[in-house]
Amino acid sequence: MNQFNFPPHTHLLAQELLKHSRFKLQQIHEWAEWIGYETRNKYSLTDLVGNPVGFAAEQQKGLFGFVMRQFFGHWRRFNIDIFNTNRELALRLNHPFRWFFQRIEVLDAEGVMIGALQQKFSFFTKSFDVEDPRGKVRYQVRSPIWRIWTFSFTKHGHEVAEVKKRWSGLISEVFTDRDNFLLTMKGPNLDAEDRLLILAASIFVDLQYFERKAR
């Protein structure tokens, strides 16, 4: 065990996240998206100069996974694994089957829950909470209608982080789900666990609000 109380594989990813305040999360494009098929979600995570920090990949493979993606989109049950720079499992995102109020549980490399992302009811904003393992709200995340590509993480009214979707180019925006995000850690007291949950939340943002099936 280590100073963050995480297993070693999760610890390595946490160390990388503590080195910088800004990161780029880019969805990896697959050719089948050009002809309208939903493919497994994959992401690369780098610092601003392109050095790798980690990567993520949806685990549902095979014909059944393919069919479920086409017809049920982000409502279906699926897992996304996040790996460190040694290609070792660092986090697992578990998404249960839900029609409403989507949820993802965030687990470390040994399957211990470190938090969850829970969509909230809202008329005029995109809204979800970052929860601790006991269900207590750790951060509130909101995207107002005048900033539909920007998601602000707040605690006691103070912004501590931001996830912002970036323009991917006309062709990519129209014909694929190749989304790009900028993650900014603003709070001076954000620890390793906070940063791991914010990383997980950036993937939740894409799945919930920018995937074709989500729209």
- Classified as helix, coil or strand, 127 is strand
Rounded Cα distance between 72 and 7, Å, is 34
More confident residue, 58 or 171: 58
The pTM (predicted TM-score) of the whole model is 0.85
pLDDT in tens, 40-67: 789 999 999 999 999 999 876 655 555 5
Choosing among 2.60.40.10, 3.40.50.720, 3.40.50.20, 2.40.160.200, the CATH entry for 8-209 is 2.40.160.200
Measured torsion, CA atoms of residues 160, 107, 11, 74, in degrees rounded to the nearest 10: -60
What percentage of the chain reaches a pLDDT higher than 70?
78
Average pLDDT along the chain: 84
CB-based burial label for 116 (10 Å; 0-12, 13-18, 19+): buried
More confident residue, 27 or 162: 162
Q: What pLDDT is attached to residue 172?
A: 47
Q: What pLDDT is attached to residue 24?
A: 97
pLDDT in tens, 127-159: 999 999 999 999 999 998 888 899 999 999 999
Rounded Cα distance between 215 and 207, Å, is 10
